[in-house]
Each structure stands twice: as C-alpha cells, then as structure tokens.
Chain A
Amino acid sequence: GESVGLHLPTLSVQEGDNSIINCAYSNSASDYFIWYKQESGKGPQFIIDIRSNMDKRQGQRVTVLLNKTVKHLSLQIAATQPGDSAVYFCAEKYSGTYKYIFGTGTRLKVLA
C-alpha cells in the first residue's frame, strides 16, 4: 500500500542514543496531547499522553515535555532501539470538544 509518510522530516539517530522529536501545536486552548507511533502500513499506536496542566510526563523509556508558552511538545526516547524506527506524530485536543488535530509526523530512523 501507499506510504503515508513519503515526504516527512527525518531524524536519524544512532542505536543507543537518545532521540528528541518535536512538535508545534496550534491552539493555546488545547487541553490534552498525545504522541503516537506509526509503523509502515499500520495504524497509529498510542505512546504517551499529557494534560495541559502538566509540563512533563514519563513512561517507559519515553518522556513528553510540554511548553505552553511557546506551544511546543517534545517526545524524548531514551536508548533508542531499531524497533523504535517509525513515524511519530503528536495530536492536540481542543478543550471541550472531541476534535483532535494531528501533526504530519517525523520519521525516526535508527542507525545500527
């Protein structure tokens, strides 16, 4: 099937290094954010989320940072592994709605 990420920005990282993927969101009233991982030909997989009343949240090998001042979200992956290779994108939810706005994504390539 057709790739959904043909012309995405790409981040290449050496295996074992840390990865930082960035996302700028659009609506200062958004109250919830999610990071997804999408492998080729598959549906997006939930990684981690954060509410707007937080600025940091940690999961297993992943950390999400939220800077509401500049409307910026980042995903940090520790000790990046080959299985982390995928497209990563963020989503913001408009407060009081079911409406999510999704970014176009960043392709992460892990170099052996």
Chain B
Amino acid sequence: GAVVSQHPSWVICKSGTSVKIECRSLDFQATTMFWYRQFPKQSLMLMATSNEGSKATYEQGVEKDKFLINHASLTLSTLTVTSAHPEDSSFYICSAPVVLANQPQHFGDGTRLSIL
C-alpha cells in the first residue's frame, strides 16, 4: 500500500541551527502534502499545506519565514525550521493524500526535534 517516509526520525541540535525534514511519498504521487506539529499530550495542529510547484499555504499564526516549505517534486516535500530555538522543539508529522478520492491520508512516522 501507499507509504509516506519521513526523515530524520529524531534530531537534536543547538539553538540557532536550521533543520530540514523530508517527507516522501514512496509509491504514489502527491501534489499536496500537509505538515503538522504536535506538542506533548496535545493533538496534531496543521501548520501548512505544501503544494507541488507553487507556494505553500500557511495556517494562521505560523511564521512563513520560520518554517520554509519546498515541494519541488511530486514525491518530495521538505520543511526547514530556520534558526531553531528551544520553543520549536516538537514532533513534526507530514501526510499525503492519495490521488484517488476518498482514500485515507497516509502519514509519516514523524520527526522528533529537540533544540538545546
């Protein structure tokens, strides 16, 4: 079945570093991918919608310059957390809808980001 691969699964880095997270659809094309953030004991919150070949759509309150999204191909979207600070520490998850209508979205396994 359709699979979404997310990399890395865990990253620890110093404050001020930029971190790139990749989301790949392995056996299907995804013109749209979604990026979520999840803080401990909270639900998923949609950050942005990544659109292949065009600009991402960000949810209210999400800084575009802080969270750079690039959807350069039909199978890859990247989220770059620029100049990360401890408050950016969170669990980041991507998902991709399957092209066929009414099919379930497939999720990556998430990336645990810890900023020291």
Q: Are A and B interaction partners?
A: no
